[in-house]
């Protein structure tokens, strides 16, 4: 195997472990985890936004003249997908409970798959870029595990199925992308 494989794979394993830790904490210390989840989320978002705008986006703009177009296209695609899901799944009373649990799980699964691709791409640029991206992305996995689990519980899945669904959506797909 290529040496480039191991850094993204280890970052993905670390992210999967942090996601599993978030799920374990929510199951064991539910009130504490729910009370502090916004703090974890805000910290993770701050790290991701800072790393993105201070290092990754300028690096991408320097590597390709088409990077601004790809950045805008990615943003608009996610925005339109969000609008589509909201209009055709979440706003219908017959599918509301289904949408609360399974639609976010699918979204987080796609998100996690893309995270794995990002690990591979950023580590192929250089170790510093990959390391910065990995730090920001691993830090946001803890609240992601909590939110995925809670959404699946509210969607009608039992604790056992919600645990496995959250692990599948947020952890295993990331490893597949490496």
- % of the chain surpassing 90 pLDDT: 7
Q: How confident is the model at residue 72 (pLDDT cuts 50, 70, 90)?
A: very high
Average pLDDT over residues 67-91: 82
Query: According to the per-residue pLDDT averaged within each range, which of 12-21, 62-71, 116-125 is highest?
Result: 62-71
Predicted confidence (pLDDT) at residue 161 exceeds the cutoff of 80 = yes
Asked if residue 2 has pLDDT above 70, the reply is no
Q: Per residue in 80-119, pLDDT tens?
A: 887 887 777 666 666 556 556 666 677 777 777 888 888 8
Q: What would the 3-class secondary structure string for 42-94 be?
A: HHHHHHHHHHHHHHHHHHHHHHCCCHHHHHHHHHHHHHHHHHHHHHHHHCCHH
């Amino acid at each position: 195997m290529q040496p480039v494989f191991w850094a993204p794979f280890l970052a993905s394993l670390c992210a999967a472990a942090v996601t599993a830790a978030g799920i374990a904490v929510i199951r064991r210390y539910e009130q504490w985890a729910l009370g502090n989840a916004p703090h974890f989320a805000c910290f993770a978002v701050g790290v991701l936004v800072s790393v993105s705008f201070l290092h990754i986006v300028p690096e991408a703009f320097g590597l390709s003249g088409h990077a601004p177009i790809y950045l805008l296209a990615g943003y608009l695609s996610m925005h339109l997908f969000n609008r589509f899901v909201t209009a055709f799944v979440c706003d219908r009373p017959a599918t509301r409970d289904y949408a609360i649990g399974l639609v976010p799980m699918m979204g987080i699964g796609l998100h996690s798959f893309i995270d794995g691709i990002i690990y591979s791409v950023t580590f192929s640029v250089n170790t510093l870029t990959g390391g910065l991206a990995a730090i920001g992305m691993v830090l946001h996995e803890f609240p992601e595990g909590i939110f995925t689990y809670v959404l699946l519980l509210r969607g009608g899945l039992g604790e056992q199925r919600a645990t496995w669904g959250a692990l599948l959506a947020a952890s295993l797909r990331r490893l597949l992308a490496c």
